[in-house]
Homo-oligomer: A and B are copies of this chain.
Amino acid sequence: MKKHNFYAGPSIMPQFTIENTAEAIKDLDGIGLSLMEISHRSKEFDAIIKEAQALFKELLDIPDGYHVLFLGGGASTQFLMVPYNLFRNKAAYMNTGSWAKKAIKEAKLFGDVDVVASSEEDGFNYIPRNYQLPGDADYFHITSNNTISGTELKEDLDVSMPLVADMSSDIFSRPIDVSKYAIIYGGAQKNLAPAGVTFIIVKEDVLGKVDRTIPTMMDYNTHIKKESLFNTPPVVPIYSALQTLKWLKQKGGVKEMNKINNEKAGMLYEEIERNKLFRPVVQKEEDRSIMNVTFVMNEEYKDLDKEFLEFAGSKGMVGIKGHRSVGGFRASLYNALPKESVEALIAAMKEFENKKA
């Protein structure tokens, strides 16, 4: 029986993506070869990656002047590639969680990093709103969704410098105004594909402004020139990404997806607030992630953590244990998670409340 999958990532994929990928691995479109066996220079893969790039652009309404890349190495490699390609004298970063901190650490290898705002003192449980950007920074880096604490910046910022966003865990969850960003990147293993592929949306005219020699694989222009085929790309994850993009289009795209995501997250936050046992980690509604809902037991029920995890497990739920730095619970409600799974979690929370409160 299919589990209710609340993993933070790698995470639930649409059945459409799962079934089509499994079929293609057995035999790709009846060509007598597995998807795993085709050359990345074959006409079959050329069609796959071109369609994936085109659909990616279409679904996010990406304007001209931007490239979409599919690379290996994970978002963690982007923490390094971003400063390699953009850092001249100074960079501004917002510190909203573990991933932001890792990005800041790499940028510091290149020089002066101005951390313009941080919610670290409060356990990253909110998104800073009032801060000054230094006029002389080369770019401003944000993490739009923080998977660990469960905060999310749900609007596109207007800033006077190139804006760079790590959107690993909320890409395709809502419409975004790409024109406000210089670079958007992320690991694909949440709303897009199995682990192993990293997407990068990069505005052409922000590149080429640094003096350093950029190592070949770290240079966005290397990959732009070769359309993500400078070296062998992760073929299977890119095929799966294409399936998810097709599924997303069938479902009505990011606007419709955002409506459903708001409904799913709204239901769950409502139950967390109502239920005597639980409380949300993130207080301000506007800061609450619609992708990763974090909650803990109220003080008087604190020792029931493990028991609730087991109870939810017995109802076919996986992945709701909170990150060790926050504790409690985290339910990741990515695009592919059906409403029924959220309803099942809510029912389990109610049932557990009736037994314990």
Interface residues, chain A, with chain B CB atoms under 8 Å away: 1-3, 5, 7-13, 17-19, 21-23, 25-26, 31-40, 42, 72-77, 79-80, 102, 105-106, 109, 187, 189, 193-198, 213, 215-218, 230-237, 240, 316, 318-319
Contact A196–B234 (Cβ < 8 Å) = yes
B37 in contact with A73 (CB, 8 Å) = no
A3→B237 CA distance, assembly (Å): 23
Cβ-defined contact, A17 with B36, below 8 A: yes
Given A11-B37, A26-B22: A189 and B77 interface contact (C-beta under 8 Å): no
Are B195 and A233 touching (Cβ within 8 A)? yes
Question: A35 CB to closest chain B CB, in angstroms?
Answer: 8
Known contacts A80-B216, A194-B235, A196-B234; 19 additional CB pairs below 8 A are A5-B37, A7-B38, A10-B235, A18-B34, A18-B37, A39-B319, A40-B195, A73-B73, A74-B217, A74-B232, A75-B231, A77-B77, A80-B215, A106-B215, A187-B232, A195-B234, A196-B233, A196-B236, A236-B236
A76-B231, A196-B235, A234-B237 given; A10·B31 CB < 8 A: no
CB <8 Å contact, B36 and A10: yes
Q: Which residues of B contact A198 (CB under 8 A)?
A: 72
A73 to B23, CA, bound (A): 26
In the assembled complex, which residues on chain B have CB atoms less than 8 Å from the CB atom of A35? 194
Find chain B residues with CB under 8 A from A233 CB: 195-196
**Judging by beta carbons under 8 Å apart, are B37 and A13 in contact?**
yes
Residues in B with CB closer than 8 Å to A32 are 1-3, 316
Q: Show 15 A/B contacts (Cβ-Cβ < 8 Å), sorted by A.
A: A5-B33, A5-B37, A9-B39, A10-B39, A13-B37, A17-B36, A22-B25, A25-B25, A36-B194, A72-B74, A77-B217, A80-B217, A187-B231, A194-B235, A236-B236
This chain: copies in complex: 2
A22 / chain B contacts, CB cutoff of 8 Å: 22-23, 25-26
By a CB distance below 8 angstroms, the chain B residues around A230 are 76
A33 and B213 contacting across the interface, CB-CB below 8 Å: no
Q: A36-B240, A39-B319, A196-B196 are in contact. Are A31 and B3 (CB under 8 A)?
A: yes
From A26, A195, A234, name the one whose CB has the most chain B CB atoms within 10 angstroms.
A195
A18 vs B37: C-alpha distance when bound (angstroms): 9
Separation in Å of the A226 CB from the closest CB of chain B? Answer: 11
Contact B236 A195 (CB under 8 A): yes
B12, B21, B73, B197: which contacts A25 (Cβ < 8 A)? B21
Cβ-neighbour of A18 out of B36, B38, B235, B319 (below 8 A): B36
Q: Tell me the complex Cα distance, A7–B37, Å.
A: 8
Residue on B with the closest CB to A75? B231
B21:A36 contact, CB within 8 angstroms: yes
Known A-B contacts A195-B232, A196-B72, A196-B237; A215 and B9 likewise in contact (beta carbons under 8 Å): no
Q: Which of B18, B40, B75, B316 contacts A26 (CB 8 A)?
A: B18
